[in-house]
Structure 1
């Protein structure tokens, strides 16, 4: 049994679960939400109920205006913790509908999974159902926060990370990522930034329960992280200064973190991204340590033709984050401009035959300059900054060979890597990718 499920059942008698459905012929899910709803339950002890009550409490403070200011402030803070969106009007529009009855199970058809709350009897019944492939838990994933953030401006024609990966040589061959859609699940993205004009093909916002709020909202960032990572993937040149690896690619960007039922929001984002035709997923999120609950989701992404590029974490050697530490993910660590592995870059060896060490590779992750909400730029350090470099490189390669499979794309990138003299594969995996070499391997 999933450790997350066991812990929740022991403490409250219920558990939030992800149900992976068996695939029907043709690769589509065999079951539907209606088929499974009888196994799920509403509970006053669930996170769903707590979030809904917080929203109801806040709604009362705004409609009745009779709650003392101290209580009103507490209600506002409660909802902020639940929804974690700094855009207050968007929060209210997103969460007030949660006062309506919530279906006991939410179904995500592109992934072929469902999410809901079960008790022990419901869990047993789910596992006995011949439509169900697996039932896993929902341990709370968190943002992999930058180690350092500082003011910076674009002073050179290209950021050092572009040069380190050989990106200008791929541009010289006419590759910009044109026609390639990259999924970007993060804190959102500032769509008004000059360097992201034309880069965002679609944008989604999900409420606390993993339901899409409104169709096609205007892109916004709830923090700064998402705008920075989005810019590294597909930022357009600004006044002759280049900072995006694939400036011709487009993004399917979604607000999925922080707050609320984070796993449901991330799963909803993944499901939406598949529907948007994404071929690559860049995700700088994770849970410290080994949790196998998201391994099936990572495998499903690959089956759907999406290369999952995940950050390994910023907790230094001997650590890693799930899902970045799965063999099915392209696990990404960080190096500085001298090619030295960053002190914070996580790495870990596992007792397994397949892909025993993480990260799989490293990319520029120290002093990375990219977009800042509001139109400026700033430098950040972290494996979160390295991950979008690899996603952008993958977009350039896919433009060169749109028919490339996930395995072919991953093999080309990893085979192109090299390590600096004296570097241990335990810390850097295959090493730093070489864009032109990867292109030759993929498309000889």
Structure 2
């Protein structure tokens, strides 16, 4: 027996366009979920799947029936390979895939020094996105009132940077399809603490009054697609969560989680996802999905980091580039598990910076829609260029390296 992920091959697609224009208001979340469920209930493929599962033998167990996956619409089924083969034959319009690992996008800790406090020069990432400048000119935004789900390794809530900012901590059990609230927020590996600090840390964070909720999707840095889907359903069920921050993936263009990510947009949640650390012409899923806000990394010289993933992809006959934007992700100082600060390299560091900027925008424009928020981010970026070592000419990075460019907070004070 094994766990399989089951869903229709065709997603709701263009039928969700009207949903995607919805807003982030908590009071509208349940209505938007109901609209999504209503669209799905009209899909004949879903009806056939439900009928097949109802008539299947006792050896086929649905771990997540439809009522428990209202947003992603995904079935999590425990069955044998033989039963999976039969289901493929009976219902060829389904995607039936064996559960597979989703790994942490590991950063590099190129600076082994752990500091007890950060200096002004260590906060270069806030300078690079223009946040320091607009604060000097009177900008007072802090992300207050915005909640971000950090789907990661957990968060060390005892770090001084994060005191009072972690609103809850949850773990996931796919076999029982349950989410458990933990009284104490801990980090199982260290990655999530560094990420959370860049979102809302007292000194290093972009949005220091935003709140985070910890979802330990990657205990010890490892998880599965089924954990990913359960984590998304959990985040969607909390109407206060407006953004999910993810630094995990599977190398390559793997469509297994695509419809789940797309569904978030239809209920008023922005998925901000790291593109990967494999460099040029290599990306990771779900960070390379067209429906995610994909993030690459830049350095202190306003250059795209060599390790930052990017490329050109095709989905549904549409060509697009990844990442959507870049943010500081090289030698970025943030909080570490157990106290202190370290400088890490990775798109995992760039991603929470983008989540922080999104929180600042949401604070200032609470009526904004998901599509307008994304548009506001990508159209406010700073174009990055480099000097060609052969021609000696200054050239712009192509979109598959920088997306729309380096994210900027400056338009918030214009």
Which interval holds the TM-score relative to the shorter structure?
0.7 to 0.9
User: How many Å separate the matches in 2 of 1:191 and 1:226?
Assistant: 10
Matched, 1:389 2:363: no
Residue 347 of structure 1 deviates from its aligned partner by 1.2
Matched, 1:254 2:206: no
Q: Bigger shift: 399-408 or 165-174?
A: 165-174
Q: Bigger shift: 106-115 or 321-330?
A: 106-115
Matched position secondary structure for 1:339: coil
Q: Say whether the 8 Å CA contact 2:3–2:76 is kept in structure 1.
A: no
Q: Say whether the 8 Å CA contact 1:199–1:234 is kept in structure 2.
A: yes
User: How many Å separate the matches in 2 of 1:116 and 1:169?
Assistant: 52
Q: Say whether the 8 Å CA contact 1:327–1:354 is kept in structure 2.
A: no
Q: Say whether the 8 Å CA contact 1:208–1:262 is kept in structure 2.
A: no
1:365 pairs with 329, 333, 343, which one? 329
Note closer, same or farther for the CA distance 1:117–1:378 as it changes in structure 2 (3 Å cut). Answer: same
Matched position secondary structure for 2:36: coil
User: How many Å separate the matches in 2 of 1:274 and 1:435?
Assistant: 27
1:26 pairs with 35, 49, 64, which one? 35
Matched, 1:296 2:296: no
Residue 156 of structure 1 deviates from its aligned partner by 1.7
TM-score, length of structure 1 as denominator length: 0.74
Note closer, same or farther for the CA distance 1:261–1:320 as it changes in structure 2 (3 Å cut). Answer: closer
**Aligned runs of 1:25-64 on 2, under 5 Å?**
26-28=35-37, 30=41, 36=53, 38-39=55-56, 42=59
Q: In proportion to residue count, which structure has more strand?
A: 2
Residue 289 of structure 1 deviates from its aligned partner by 0.4
Post-superposition Cα deviations, 1:81-120, rounded to whole Å, max 9, x if no partner, equal xxxxxxxxxxxxxxxxxxxxxx542243342332123445
Matched position secondary structure for 2:101: coil
Matched, 1:105 2:63: yes
Number of matched pairs: 363
Matched position secondary structure for 2:120: coil
User: How many Å separate the matches in 2 of 1:315 and 1:142?
Assistant: 14
Post-superposition Cα deviations, 1:192-245, rounded to whole Å, max 9, x if no partner, equal 111111111121012364744633431000011011001111112xxxxx2001
2:206 pairs with 228, 245, 253, which one? 245
Match of 1:165 in 2: 129
User: How many Å separate the matches in 2 of 1:409 and 1:310?
Assistant: 15
Q: Say whether the 8 Å CA contact 1:209–1:261 is kept in structure 2.
A: no
Match of 2:305 in 1: 342
Matched position secondary structure for 2:150: strand
User: How many Å separate the matches in 2 of 1:123 and 1:418?
Assistant: 50
Bigger relative contact order (CA 8 A; separation at least 6): 2
Note closer, same or farther for the CA distance 1:332–1:25 as it changes in structure 2 (3 Å cut). Answer: closer
Matched, 1:116 2:77: yes
Matched, 1:317 2:280: yes
Match of 1:61 in 2: none
Residue 331 of structure 1 deviates from its aligned partner by 1.0
TM-score, length of structure 2 as denominator length: 0.79
Residue 40 of structure 1 deviates from its aligned partner by 7.7
Q: Say whether the 8 Å CA contact 1:40–1:104 is kept in structure 2.
A: no
Post-superposition Cα deviations, 1:144-165, rounded to whole Å, max 9, x if no partner, equal 0012353243122761111111
2:169 pairs with 203, 207, 210, which one? 203
Unaligned runs of 5+ in 2: 17-32, 386-394
Post-superposition Cα deviations, 1:154-186, rounded to whole Å, max 9, x if no partner, equal 122761111111223555422111111111100
Match of 2:149 in 1: 183
User: How many Å separate the matches in 2 of 1:395 and 1:419?
Assistant: 22
Match of 1:96 in 2: none
Residue 126 of structure 1 deviates from its aligned partner by 8.1
Match of 2:370 in 1: 406
Matched position secondary structure for 1:363: strand
User: How many Å separate the matches in 2 of 1:134 and 1:319?
Assistant: 25
Note closer, same or farther for the CA distance 1:40–1:327 as it changes in structure 2 (3 Å cut). Answer: farther
Residue 261 of structure 1 deviates from its aligned partner by 5.8
User: RMSD value over aligned CA atoms?
Assistant: 3.1
Post-superposition Cα deviations, 1:305-326, rounded to whole Å, max 9, x if no partner, equal 1111111111111100011111
